[in-house]
């Protein structure tokens, strides 16, 4: 605090804002940030790989999530620290761009931070470390391109794709059914993929789940499911060659915009009103029938009156269908969403080979399947499972598998998993370090050591001796000049990842290295942290 006087000589007190805040600067700030980042990475480390542990979260209202997916773990954690939030963002970016490798990227960033801390203690300037890391990451990314292999597959030869998706699923809780789920994911991606343009629109794949049944009952539906049933129990449960009117207008008499009052004091008046209403309904149903619709899908409700009439007129209908589903139905069936009955025309109707209502188990749950659609590109993966947690985790795992298949269609180069690619990069970066005369060589060397973090974590999580396993694999790679050797997590008996069919996509691995380096550089460049003191 300081006392000062204004131009009229009146005293006033200046409160220094800085005193209300805590401030860390220089090496102290960097160390604090590094330890925050490492704390997050330490949490994820045990979840890496096929033998990684799962995490359980309980939300304040009692919801429980059990997961192994890095991005989800971090999303569920309530992190307060800004640097820790950067790590959460890191995992999220990997998830957005690639969809897989969300744990690995954080583990790698944690290792880079750990190495940076050592270098800082040895008195190397953070900018030097950041520059060294940048060079090393470029070397690693180029090296990955050199060791990457082309991956041949086609619509008739989907086995290689299935194998890759299986690698992704093998570290998840759904491991038990990985073959079936991988096949479903690959078929789903291929049916929406544009192989010529190498593009996949994952929005066309809807992942739905319903509690009940077994995980093995999960199926791929070439069409769409809607969690709704026919609006009247006596309507037909199955419609072949359906012509679908997709409506966003309700089956009800129009509502006047201004307030008004109707006095009904005689029976006649009531009957006239009823007749009027009936006429509206008749008219609406007739309009649908006139254009040739055999099924009506409506975003809004129907009056019981309308429902009854629809049933009588033999026009099956579904009500309360959500906007997103409505759009998907329109895309899949090649129909148009119609906002007014007057605008209905035969061309705007969607077409589907089969629409059926399916009921499940002993519950009254019903779903509508819309299959063999005009544009068969929209598909649905329908997950069954014992409980909600299982279904949610399966959805996340399938998302990863879908992303892996999509990435391979975009770029069909792969590198080997199980830490093999990281070890190979580590060797290459280590060798390159000696060629740099400046201080950067220490940072480049440290980067090489950090790359070992992934295989070390994989070995540790599988109950192997981490350092011994790593050095054995590393020397094997050097001796045989073969980048396929990794950590034999599942005790298969060989550590040749090519034989074990453990692949990862090249772009996924490259993205991991680039993103982790970027975040670590950003953290290293912060040398002043000013935060509110109650923080």
What positions carry a catalytic annotation? 69, 102-103, 400
Question: Quick check: 75 binds ligand ADP (CB under 6 A)?
Answer: no
Q: Is 375 helix (H, G, I), strand (E, B) or coil?
A: coil
Question: At its nearest, how many Å lie between ligand ADP and the CB of residue 111?
Answer: 13
Report yes or no: 119 and 125 within 8 Å, Cβ to Cβ: no
Q: How far apart are CA 321 and CA 48, in angstroms?
A: 40
Q: Is 93 helix (H, G, I), strand (E, B) or coil?
A: helix
Nearer to ligand ADP, 400 or 430 (CB): 400
- Please tell me what DSSP assigns to residue 215: G
Q: Which residue is nearest to ligand ADP (CB)?
A: 417
- Please tell me what DSSP assigns to residue 356: E
- The residue with tokens 């192994």 is 68
Report yes or no: 488 and 498 within 8 Å, Cβ to Cβ: no
Question: At its nearest, how many Å lie between ligand ADP and the CB of residue 403?
Answer: 10
The DSSP H or E segment spanning 246 is: strand 238-247
Among 438, 418, 421, residue whose Cα is nearest residue 429 = 421
The stretch near ligand ADP (CB under 6 A) out of 178-186, 433-441, 467-475, 496-504 is 496-504
Question: Quick check: 103 binds ligand ADP (CB under 6 A)?
Answer: yes
Question: At its nearest, how many Å lie between ligand ADP and the CB of residue 51?
Answer: 9
Chain centroid offset of residue 141 CA: 24
Question: At its nearest, how many Å lie between ligand ADP and the CB of residue 317?
Answer: 44
Among 72, 86, 100, 507, binds ligand ADP (CB under 6 A): 100
Question: Quick check: 380 binds ligand ADP (CB under 6 A)?
Answer: no
Q: Is 87 helix (H, G, I), strand (E, B) or coil?
A: helix
The stretch near ligand ADP (CB under 6 A) out of 316-324, 327-335, 351-359, 500-508 is 500-508
Question: Quick check: 489 binds ligand ADP (CB under 6 A)?
Answer: yes
Question: At its nearest, how many Å lie between ligand ADP and the CB of residue 457?
Answer: 9
Among 33, 34, 49, 134, binds ligand ADP (CB under 6 A): 49
Question: Quick check: 70 binds ligand ADP (CB under 6 A)?
Answer: yes
Among 230, 242, 428, 487, binds ligand ADP (CB under 6 A): 487
Question: Quick check: 350 binds ligand ADP (CB under 6 A)?
Answer: no
Chain centroid offset of residue 277 CA: 48
The stretch near ligand ADP (CB under 6 A) out of 9-17, 79-87, 95-103, 215-223 is 95-103
Among 36, 43, 48, 516, binds ligand ADP (CB under 6 A): 48
Q: How far apart are CA 431 and CA 444, in angstroms?
A: 10
Nearer to ligand ADP, 55 or 206 (CB): 55
Q: How far apart are CA 390 and CA 368, in angstroms?
A: 23
Question: Quick check: 368 binds ligand ADP (CB under 6 A)?
Answer: no
Q: How far apart are CA 69 and CA 104, in angstroms?
A: 10
The DSSP H or E segment spanning 486 is: none
Nearer to ligand ADP, 357 or 496 (CB): 496
β-pair type (21-25, 317-318): unpaired
Question: Quick check: 417 binds ligand ADP (CB under 6 A)?
Answer: yes
Exposed, middle or buried by CB within 10 Å (0-12, 13-18, 19+), for 330? buried
Question: At its nearest, how many Å lie between ligand ADP and the CB of residue 486?
Answer: 6
Q: How far apart are CA 302 and CA 426, in angstroms?
A: 65
Among 504, 506, 511, 519, binds ligand ADP (CB under 6 A): 504
Among 490, 498, 522, 526, binds ligand ADP (CB under 6 A): 490
Question: At its nearest, how many Å lie between ligand ADP and the CB of residue 468?
Answer: 17
Question: Quick check: 225 binds ligand ADP (CB under 6 A)?
Answer: no
Question: At its nearest, how many Å lie between ligand ADP and the CB of residue 63?
Answer: 22
Report yes or no: 207 and 381 within 8 Å, Cβ to Cβ: yes
> Considering only residues 115-174, where is the footprint of ligand ADP by CB under 6 A?
167, 170-171
Q: How far apart are CA 308 and CA 302, in angstroms?
A: 10
Question: Quick check: 458 binds ligand ADP (CB under 6 A)?
Answer: yes
Question: At its nearest, how many Å lie between ligand ADP and the CB of residue 201?
Answer: 23
Question: Quick check: 515 binds ligand ADP (CB under 6 A)?
Answer: no
Binding mask 231-260 for ligand ADP (x = CB under 6 A): ------------------------------
Q: How far apart are CA 298 and CA 49, in angstroms?
A: 46
Give one DSSP letter per residue of 401-467, joined into a string: HHHHHHHHHH--EEEETTTHHHHHHHHHHHHHHTT--STHHHHHHHHHHHHTHHHHHHHHHTTS-HH
The DSSP H or E segment spanning 480 is: helix 466-480
Site for ligand ADP, rule CB under 6 A:
47-50, 52, 68-70, 100-104, 167, 170-171, 417-419, 454, 458, 486-487, 489-490, 500, 502, 504
């Amino acid at each position: 605090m300081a006392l000062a006087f204004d131009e009229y000589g009146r005293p006033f007190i200046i409160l220094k804002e800085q005193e209300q805040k805590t401030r860390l600067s220089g090496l102290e700030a960097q160390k604090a940030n590094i330890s925050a980042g490492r704390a997050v990475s330490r949490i994820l480390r045990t979840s890496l790989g096929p033998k990684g542990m799962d995490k359980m979260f309980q939300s304040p209202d009692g919801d429980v999530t059990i997961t192994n997916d890095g991005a989800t773990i971090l999303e569920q954690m309530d992190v307060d620290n800004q640097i820790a939030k950067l790590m959460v963002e890191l995992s999220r970016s990997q998830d957005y761009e690639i969809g897989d490798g969300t744990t690995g990227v954080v583990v790698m960033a944690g290792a880079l931070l750990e190495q940076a801390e050592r270098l800082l203690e040895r008195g190397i300037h953070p900018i030097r470390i950041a520059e060294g890391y940048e060079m090393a990451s470029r070397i690693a990314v180029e090296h990955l391109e050199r060791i990457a292999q082309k991956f041949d597959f086609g619509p008739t030869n989907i086995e290689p794709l299935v194998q890759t998706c299986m690698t992704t699923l093998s570290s998840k809780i759904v491991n038990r059914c990985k073959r079936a789920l991988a096949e479903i994911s690959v078929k789903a991606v291929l049916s929406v993929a544009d192989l010529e343009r190498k593009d996949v629109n994952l929005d066309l794949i809807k992942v739905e789940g319903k509690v009940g049944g077994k995980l093995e009952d999960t199926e791929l539906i070439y069409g769409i499911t809607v969690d709704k049933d026919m609006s009247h129990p006596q309507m037909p449960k199955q419609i072949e060659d359906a012509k679908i009117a997709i409506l966003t207008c309700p089956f009800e008499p129009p509502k006047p915009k201004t307030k008004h009052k109707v006095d009904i004091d005689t029976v006649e008046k009531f009957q006239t009103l009823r007749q009027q209403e009936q006429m509206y309904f008749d008219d609406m149903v007739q309009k649908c029938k006139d254009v040739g619709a055999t099924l009506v899908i409506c975003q809004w409700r129907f009056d019981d009156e309308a429902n009854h009439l629809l049933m009588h007129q033999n026009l099956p209908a579904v009500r309360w269908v959500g906007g997103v589903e409505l759009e998907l139905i329109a895309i899949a069936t090649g129909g148009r969403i119609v906002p007014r009955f007057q605008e209905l025309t035969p061309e705007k109707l969607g077409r589907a080979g089969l629409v059926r209502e399916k009921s499940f188990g002993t519950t009254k749950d019903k779903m509508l399947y819309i299959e063999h659609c005009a544009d068969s590109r929209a598909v649905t993966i329908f997950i069954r499972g014992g409980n909600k947690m299982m279904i949610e985790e399966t959805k996340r795992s399938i998302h990863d598998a879908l992303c892996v298949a999509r990435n391979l269609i975009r770029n069909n180069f792969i590198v080997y998993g199980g830490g093999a690619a990281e070890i190979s990069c580590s060797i290459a970066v280590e060798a390159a370090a000696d060629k740099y005369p400046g201080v950067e060589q220490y940072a480049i060397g440290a980067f090489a050591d950090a790359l070992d973090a992934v295989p070390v974590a994989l070995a540790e999580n599988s109950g192997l001796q981490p350092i011994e396993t790593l050095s054995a694999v590393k020397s094997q790679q050097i001796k045989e000049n073969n980048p396929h050797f990794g950590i034999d997590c599942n005790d298969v008996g060989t550590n040749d990842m090519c034989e074990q069919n453990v692949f990862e996509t090249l772009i996924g691995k490259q993205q991991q290295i680039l993103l982790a380096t970027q975040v670590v550089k950003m953290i290293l460049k912060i040398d002043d942290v000013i935060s509110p003191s109650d923080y």
